Amino acid sequence: MAQLVAAFGSSHSIMLVSQREDWQHHFKLIDPKNAHYYDKQGNKTDYAALLAAAPPGSEAMVTPQRMSERYDAAEAAMDQLHERIKAARLDLLLIVGDDQTELFHTSNNPAIAIYYGATIRNTAREPASPSDSWVKSARMWRHEPEQDRDYPVKQDLAEWLIRQLCERDFDITAMDGLTPGQFEGHAFQFVHRRLLKDHELPVIPVILNTFDPPNQPTPRRCVALGKALRELIAAWPEDLRVGVIASGGLSHFVVDEALDWQVLDAIRNKDSAALAALDPKLLQAGSSEIRNWLVVGELARDLDLDWVEYLPGYRTPALTGTGLAFAAWKPLA
């Protein structure tokens, strides 16, 4: 029988595909223009209001030296996560991530989708130009260096999970391929390019609409999905070592350390009720990706969360940025 033997979580912020100098200098230039700010109560706000409300000394939290230290810590955490995934000796990896108008658009945007094609494509980078912005260069890093690449998918299990979830009254959008020009979204590119690197491993992409109203899954539904996936993986008859990873989060574009630790502590304590009871109003904009962690936290509740690297990724005096989190559950032998 299949067995869930390992679980992981990782932020996938553009910070994590940017350069040291971007952390030190460039985010300060673009964050004041961001239109997707919500305060810690989930109310719409803007950069000027956040800056006015910032505590004294916030500038000292985003000096070039502090930013450089955080950059190094994030790089080390990602390298460690890569090694932990390799050490788990997996046969496949479920990736729970979100789509942000990449494969889907608001003209037709499913709440939950599962990809079950034989492979999933990532495309090659566009040719670089001297006029490219650093933001474009960072986004292009998620793509393949030279040519398109088709990553393997555990197709039979993915298709079976879709049918079985439908039998349990989950309405799942089923994807058996990509149209010309399409490529896997950023949540999945990041896992392949930064965390797996050249460690080839079949995946099953589980895609949530975390970001775009009005049909994001509730925290309660995310927990229910994690529970169903846990039970179904255990029922699959093939002898497989299965892993799962949450891609995205935590809080952004306003760093909310209290919310991030509330989620991480509830996952560590296997407190399904607390995860399900999270107020959706707090899961706005980038913080919506916490939903991916809710699915994985419940899916992996038979394992023990034993490694967390959390970096409050402040990048302006208004304390905008990303709550960067990297996590691994204790794997089974």
Q: Give 76-121 as a 3 state SS string.
A: HHHHHHHHHHHHCCCCEEEEEEECCCCCCECCECCCEEEECCCEEE
pLDDT at res. 189 = 98
The token pair at 189 is: 């590119």
The two tokens of residue 305 are 């969360």
Question: Could you tell me whether strands 37-38 and 44-45 are parallel, antiparallel, or unpaired per DSSP bridges?
Answer: antiparallel
Residue found under tokens 């658009």: 105
User: Looking at residue 252, which CATH number applies to its domain?
Assistant: 3.40.830.10
Confidence at residue 275, expressed as pLDDT on a 0 to 100 scale = 98
Q: Is the dihedral of CA 40, 311, 201, 139 positive or negative?
A: positive
pTM of the model: 0.97
Q: Is the Cβ–Cβ distance between 330 and 306 less than 8 Å?
A: yes
Distances (CA, A) of 293 to 19, 107, 264: 26, 26, 9
Amino acid occupying residue 291:
R
Torsion of CA 254, 135, 14, 38, to 10 degrees: 20
Question: Domain span at residue 30?
Answer: 1-329
Full pLDDT tens readout for the chain, 333 residues? 999 999 999 999 999 999 999 999 999 999 999 999 999 999 999 999 999 999 999 999 999 999 999 999 999 999 999 999 999 999 999 999 999 999 999 999 999 999 999 999 999 999 988 888 999 999 999 999 999 999 999 999 999 999 999 999 999 999 999 999 999 999 999 999 999 999 999 999 999 999 999 999 999 999 999 999 999 999 999 999 999 999 999 999 999 999 999 999 999 999 999 999 999 999 999 999 999 999 999 999 999 999 999 999 999 999 999 999 999 999 999
Tally of domains within the chain: 1
Residue 314 has a CB neighbour count (10 Å cut-off) of: 23
pLDDT at 217: 98
